[in-house]
Amino acid sequence: MQSFSYEKAQSVEQATGTTGKFIAGGTTLVDLMKLGVETPTQLVDVTALPLAQVETLPNGGLRIGAMVRNSDLAHHPAVGKDYAVLSEALLSGASPQLRNMATTGGNLLQRTRCPYFRDPSYSNCNKRNPGSGCAAIGGHNRMMAILGTSDACIATHPSDMCVALTALEATIQVEGPKGKRSIAIADFYKLPGTTPNVENALEPGELITYVDLPAPRKASKQVYLKLRDRASYEFALASAAVVAEVSGGHVRAVQIALGGVGTRPWRAHEAEAALTGKPATAAHFRAAAEDALKGAKPSSENGFKVELAKRCIVRAMTMASA
């Protein structure tokens, strides 16, 4: 690890007035610094900023401070009551110790677990070293994405929390040298295209301050289902976050997002369109799942994810409509 300076910011203005790299829980960043993937020379600790509260918004929604720890958010009474999909997603991620450290802002910006990205001895990684190629295409790619990939990068977005936030249609509040702005989560993450090194819509120096959730839908059923190689402490092979209104045996409204299969938290618009207004039956869930995966492009080792993701959608919808 190379040497770096460290300071603890006491205000948002102080944090955004520096050119340093923000550090919150450190559970992603410190790992990557030890591996030599991230090499900041100046760290700005943002954990003392007054952004660790969860508050109700005037419109009935919820405002989550960027410094709220994953454990605290998962166990917050308002989240458990009205945004169960978020609580379930958080509790399915990492380990209790990691969740006690990890923050909302840091979780949004965690980096891919692609092994080639995390190992600088591989020079060919377009995300880490733009223009160098992609070792995963034609290499070991069992964990890689099948939706939203490009010829330059097939890395999976690893977060569980962000899949739930995508289904809940969260808005990311940011503050930077040019002021404040709001970014819908649908616009926050970039597809890799030819520039997989550009992962999100943040501009230099911008700090995530809050995540806003819309007012909860009355009578919505929420499920986060995560399929993985072992029952805990493992990233998703496929996951589904479902927020559904089901009544009279029909799906009245539904939002579905997928994890473990996309280069970003993946909103399954096709599945939602196929289900809205339809009977809540296994046949309709399966048809919607087929639509959701129509654009899938598996690599040599992860063709199984196509069927796994379909079954994940069917099972999550079955649970949500039970």
Ligand X SMILES: Cc1cc2nc3c(=O)[nH]c(=O)nc-3n(C[C@H](O)[C@H](O)[C@H](O)COP(=O)(O)OP(=O)(O)OC[C@H]3O[C@@H](n4cnc5c(N)ncnc54)[C@H](O)[C@@H]3O)c2cc1C
Look up tokens 């090194």; give the residue: 197
Identity of the residue, 69 or 284, whose beta carbon is nearer to ligand X in the bound complex: 69
Contact between 192 and ligand X by CB under 6 A: the answer reads no
Task: Tell me how many residues contact ligand X (CB under 6 A).
Answer: 30
87 is a contact residue toward ligand X (CB under 6 A): no
Amino acid at 281: T
Report if residue 160 touches ligand X, rule: CB under 6 A: yes
Q: Can you name the residues that pair with 240 across neighbouring β-strands?
A: 225, 258
Beta strand spans in 125-170 (E): none
Query: In whole angstroms, how close is the CB of 115 to ligand SF4 at the nearest point?
Result: 8
Work out which of 114, 164, 165, 227 binds ligand SF4, going by CB under 6 A: 114
Contacts of 307 (CB under 8 A, 6+ apart): none
Contact flag: residue 237 with ligand X (CB under 6 A): no
Interaction of residue 261 with ligand SF4, rule CB under 6 A: no
- Give CA–CA dist 89/308, Å, rounded: 18
- Give the whole-angstrom CA distance, residue 7 versus residue 23: 10
Interface with ligand X (CB under 6 A), residue from 102, 153, 165, 293: 102
Establish if 104 lies at the interface with ligand SF4 (CB under 6 A). Answer: no
CB neighbour list of residue 172: distance below 8 Å, 6 or more residues apart: 108, 182, 183, 184, 185, 188, 208, 210, 211
Q: How many CB atoms lie within 10 A of CB 233?
A: 11
Report the residue from 24, 89, 153, 306 that binds ligand SF4 according to the rule CB under 6 A: 153
Binding mask 189-228 for ligand SF4 (x = CB under 6 A): -------x--------------------------------
Nearer to ligand SF4, 86 or 296 (CB): 296
Q: Which of 65, 93, 196, 262 binds ligand X (CB under 6 A)?
A: 93
CB of 134 to ligand SF4, least distance (A): 3
Given ligand X, ligand SF4, none, residue 94, with its beta carbon under 5 to 8 Å by kind, binds: ligand X
Note whether 284 and 193 are within 8 A (CB).
Answer: no
Q: CB-wise, 43 or 136, nearer to ligand SF4?
A: 136
Which of ligand SF4, ligand X, none binds 86 (CB below 5-8 Å, type-dependent)?
none
Q: Are 67 and 51 in contact (CB under 8 A)?
A: yes
Which of these segments, 52-60, 95-103, 289-297, 299-307, binds ligand X (CB under 6 A)? 95-103
Which of 115/177 has CB closer to ligand SF4? 115
Candidate segments 153-161, 218-226, 275-283, 297-305, binder of ligand SF4 by CB under 6 A:
153-161
Q: In what order do the strands lie in the sheet with 5-8?
A: 5-8, 42-45, 21-23
Q: Which does 127 bind (CB under 5 to 8 A by kind): ligand SF4, ligand X, none?
A: ligand SF4
Q: How far is the C-alpha of 152 from the C-alpha of 287, rounded, in Å? A: 31
64 contact partners, CB below 8 Å, separation of at least 6: 54, 73, 104, 210, 211, 212, 213
Q: Could you give the C-alpha distances from 234 to 28, 30, 98, in angstroms and in order?
A: 15, 19, 12
Q: Which helix (H) or strand (E) holds 316?
A: helix 304-321
Q: Decide: helix, strand or coil at residue 33.
A: helix
Contact residues: ligand SF4, CB under 6 A: 112, 114, 116-117, 125-127, 134-136, 153-155, 196
User: Which residues are at the interface with ligand X (CB under 6 A)?
Assistant: 21-29, 31, 46, 66, 93-94, 98, 101-103, 105-107, 109-110, 158-161, 207-208, 235
